[in-house]
Amino acid sequence: MNPTVGIRKEVITKSNKNFSVIGPGIANRKVAVAKYTVPANTALAIQNGAQLIMKLADGSGNEISRDSYVYFYVKRSGFDGEEFVSKLPYSAFFDLTVAEQRNAEFNSETQLIFAIPKKAIALGPEDELQIWVESADAVDFTNAATLLELEALARRI
């Protein structure tokens, strides 16, 4: 039996039906702002170095400051607390346009790099990938100017 059969590319975006806004950002505080919940009967893998595209805006549509940080956590279904995955300086995303972030010449600067040495993080049904932001600005994931895309691999289980 081939373990790669049935694996498909999944791009986590804010328009994905499993993506939800937790709440608005709060200026000068690190807060959870959004999450992706893995659907039932699905396993998801996010590879270390996965392509990540971000442009984050406040409620007025202005890009958040370049000295902000974006954190990723995993919350396992049925368990309290979150597992820390990564802390990324927003400056790399601030300095590049979305087109540049998609360009192979620049996209090594805009990858999700894990804080711990793992090849991938596996998420099961109902597990959550949470996005936290620490910024002088209050990020607003409901604003049309806010963009987030993260590549992952999904498989029905």
What gap in Å lies between CA 82 and CA 151, rounded to an integer? 21
At residue 4, what is the residue type? T
User: Per residue in 98-152, pLDDT tens?
Assistant: 999 999 888 888 999 999 889 999 999 999 999 999 999 999 999 999 999 999 9
Residue 17's Cα: distance from chain center in Å?
15
Q: What is the pLDDT of residue 108?
A: 86
pLDDT band at 1 (very low <50, low <70, confident <90, very high): very low
70 near 132, Cβ under 8 Å?
yes
User: Per residue in 21-47, pLDDT tens?
Assistant: 999 899 999 999 999 999 999 999 999
Q: What is the pLDDT of residue 5?
A: 67
Q: Domains in the chain and their CATH numbers?
A: 8-156 (2.60.120.1180)
Residue 25's Cα: distance from chain center in Å?
15
What gap in Å lies between CA 95 and CA 75, rounded to an integer? 30
User: Per residue in 68-104, pLDDT tens?
Assistant: 999 999 999 999 999 999 999 999 999 999 999 999 8
Q: Name residue 85's beta-bridge partners.
A: none
Q: What is the pLDDT of residue 4?
A: 61
User: What does pTM read for this prediction?
Assistant: 0.93
